Amino acid sequence: MNRRRYTRRHNGILMFLRNRLHYSLKIKQIICVVIILLLIFMLKLLNNSISSNVIQIIDNSINYEFSFKEDGSKILGYGKKLTKLSQDALSVFKIKNNPKHQPPIQGSIYNPFGETVYLDGRTSFNEGVDIIPSEEKEPVSIEKGIVRKVEDKSTKGYFVTIEHETMTTVYGYLISAYVSEGEEVEKGTKIGNLGTNKDGNKYLHFQVWVDDEPVNPASYVSFNK
């Protein structure tokens, strides 16, 4: 009788220990899944081969029991490499606070970027902004770059396209161009001279392109209000 009681008590202790171990493993698995999900979210924000390799490891681990020793060490290794990435790659985690460029010419915007709807239903899209200069009539390059195009657009005057490190800028409505295609210009280099429009005023048509798409210049340049 005593032996049976001892056996039942012994079995009860073993069952209790097994249950504790089972729940402990479940909690660790849940924590591991949460960490992996957070890691995937952060890696998705980084567009580089290292993060792609880490995501592939995590994706493959779904098809078999996760190995803390093998896969864990791999993720840790890639994590160490990620800490050495350039500030540009990690900038997705930071609030952008880049200072805007000075305008190509001092003045006020009279025709803003984007679509305009007229009273008769017609629409037009301005790929840049049109600026009425306040004093100086010679626009300058907002940043160092290389002149890619100098186009004569007849009644619209000359249009000068400059390629910079992170964007491309266009300067239009020029009566004359001071630069040539292939020429390297510095920030502040005079691009040309503004001509007089048919209404008797001088305007600068200014565009900013990023990834082959026109963007609002006001997002990159600090214009007068």
Local confidence band at 129 (pLDDT 50, 70, 90 cut-offs): very high
- DSSP state letter for 129: E
Q: Where are the domains of the chain?
A: 2-93, 107-219
Angle, CA of 63, 65 and 68, to the nearest 5° = 125
- Those residues whose C-beta lies under 8 Å from the C-beta of residue 153, and which sit 6 or more positions away, are 159, 172
pLDDT at 170: 98
CATH superfamily for 107-219 is Glucose Permease (Domain IIA) (2.70.70.10)
Report the mean per-residue pLDDT for the chain. Answer: 77
What is the tens place of the pLDDT at every residue in 57-96?
Answer: 555 544 444 455 555 555 556 555 555 444 444 444 443 4
Q: What does the block give as tokens for 26?
A: 């479940």
Task: State how far the alpha carbon of 126 is from the alpha carbons of 27, 116, 143, 169, 174, in Å.
Answer: 58, 8, 22, 14, 17
Residue 183 has pLDDT above 90, yes or no: yes
Local confidence band at 17 (pLDDT 50, 70, 90 cut-offs): low
Q: Confirm if 108 and 132 have CB atoms less than 8 A apart.
A: yes
